[in-house]
Amino acid sequence: MINEVKIREASEADLPAILDIYNEVILNTTAVYSEKPHTLQMRTDWYRDRVNNNFPVYVAVINGVIAGFSSFGHFRVWPCYRYTVEVSVYVEKSFRGKGISKMLLGALIDRAGETNVHAIIAGISADNEVSIRLHQSFGFTEVAHFKQVGYKFNRWLDLKFLELLIENTPGPI
């Protein structure tokens, strides 16, 4: 039974649970265009990169269990992209369909609004209709559809980019 979902900043202690969620997604879905599970060191490096760049990493906690995580990071590394981020949201399979991804994405959008983010990009496999609908419910619109750019599970995958613009003015450099 789900009592309450708490969204909080992740810590390094959460990385084993984050890794388990991410690896299940890699192995069983097209949400990540990777085929091999990641290691704890890879997730640690990812987490430290996010923290060092002042990007959020959130976890959803239910009854003491990490049920999902979200983050955003660089869309592209060149300086003029500094007001654009790419979001990621993943939920543990037994907790999917319970509104957790909506809370995690909402937290990222709120954080983007508090910082100098102007554009939020979501790269979503075209076959992931649930994620596309989730992002559209927040106002994301499709801006690109790349045909057959990924290959996983013995088939070609299309990738869609959805974008949400936030009205804010960049601060000084």
Nearest to 48 by CA among 73, 25, 68, 69: 73
Q: Specify the pLDDT at position 32.
A: 97
Residue 74 pairs in a beta bridge with 85
Starting at the earlier edge strand, list the strands of the sheet with 57-62.
5-9, 57-62, 65-74, 84-91, 119-125, 155-165, 141-152
Count CA within 13 A, CB hemisphere, residue 89. Answer: 26
| Mean pLDDT of successive 10-residue stretches along the chain, which has 173 residues | 85 98 98 97 98 97 97 95 97 96 98 94 98 98 98 98 90 63
Whole-angstrom CA distances from 113 to 34, 107, 119, 163, 164 are 30, 10, 10, 14, 11
The full set of domain ranges for the chain reads 5-165
CA distance 165 to 125: 21
Interaxial angle between packed helices 40-52 and 15-28, expressed in degrees from 0 to 180 and rounded to the nearest 10: 110
Domain 5-165, CATH homologous superfamily name and number: Gcn5-related N-acetyltransferase (GNAT) (3.40.630.30)
Q: Specify the pLDDT at position 1.
A: 46
